[in-house]
Amino acid sequence: MKTLLTLNHHIRNKKKYKSATDLVIGIPKGLFYHEHSRLWEKFFENLGCKVIVSEDTNKEILNYGIKHCSNETCLPVKVFHGHVYSLKDKVDYIFIPRYTSVDKNEYTCPKFCGLPDMSLLNLKGSIRVLEVKLHIDKDINFTFESLKELAKNINVEYNNVVEAFKNAVDLFHKNEEEKLRDGLNQVNKSKKLAVSVLGHPYVIYDNYMSMRLIGKLKNKNIDVYTPMSLDRETKRRNAYPFQGKVFWGVGFENLGSAFTFAEDENINGIIYLSPFACGVDAFIVEFIERRFKTHYKVPFLKLTIDEHTGEAGFDTRIEAFLDMIGCD
């Protein structure tokens, strides 16, 4: 409450603009959301804004995305556009951050760099977008310059926006540290089968796109491990052949996870879930498959999905894979 009172004190041009406490900010439940949702929700909550997150992905949202994107667009970006469209009449602004790099020597997929522009173009200006730029590899000042622009757009003092951002980042890092304390890198040595599910977080943790793959495995009493089950340093150390080099962040995550889990005798199989037309996965999966053929014996299944993938065929391939690794 104190934050809201402080913000209200600094609101300018009250007759012309809404105050921050009147603003409703929409956050699409796609792409960046699956890793950084708490960061951005907390940021806008600190500013006193009301935050609306779009519904879980469903058929209607997917159809919105298909309608507003070109055929060549990858499935996660189509889904993201569907989430944006579903919010457009419910909020004052839609928040779409512009990620270029979130760590040193690590870059995002190009679609993240142009996501605000792509959304505005494909939805023909029917939305108002707020963005924060993240280009950590080059210059942290990009972020603070974009916070200045955001402060102007929502009519809040810049210092208050920076304070809200820093508070949200601190909370985000605290949560990440708690996850580490909860015990990463620990594959249970039990009689249960254990499978690693690899892929982009916005695919494997989206129940609609992934067709509830993780839930289906758990329902068969299988332990499931993802890149989020490992700490950052382990994944970078094992991300053959790109250790110490400039590469995509998601590449480090999945290469490092694949080779870490492949070395673990308690992992019975690895499934890589990839969206059709993903340029990044075209490289990553190729490196994984080549090295698995020469260095490891753990069964590996690549599943490619798009908007036309049928769940019956998808399940059949999973069942065949599970039979191979000895699941009853």
Placement of tokens 């959301």 in the chain: 33
**198-242 tens-digit pLDDT:** 999 999 999 999 999 999 999 999 999 999 999 889 999 999 998
**20-45 tens-digit pLDDT:** 778 999 999 999 999 999 999 999 99
pLDDT of residue 175: 85
pLDDT of residue 20: 75
Contact in structure between 75 and 7 (CB atoms under 8 Å): no
pLDDT of residue 130: 96
C-alpha distances in Å from residue 104, one per residue of 90, 160, 222, 249: 37, 27, 36, 10
CA–CA gap between residue 159 and residue 96 (Å, rounded): 21
pLDDT of residue 32: 93
User: Same CATH topology for 20-179 and 189-325?
Assistant: yes
pLDDT of residue 166: 95
Please determine, for residue 170, whether its predicted confidence score (pLDDT) is greater than 70: yes
- % the chain with pLDDT above 70: 92
pTM strictly above 0.85: yes
CA–CA gap between residue 104 and residue 93 (Å, rounded): 30
185 band by pLDDT with thresholds 50, 70 and 90:
low
Residue 50's DSSP bridge partners are: 24
Query: Before 241, cis peptide (omega within 30)?
Result: yes
**99-131 tens-digit pLDDT:** 999 889 999 988 889 999 999 999 988 899 999
18 band by pLDDT with thresholds 50, 70 and 90:
low
Break the chain into its structural domains and give their ranges. 20-179, 189-325
**CATH top-level class for 189-325?**
alpha beta
As a CATH number, domain 20-179 is 3.40.50.11890
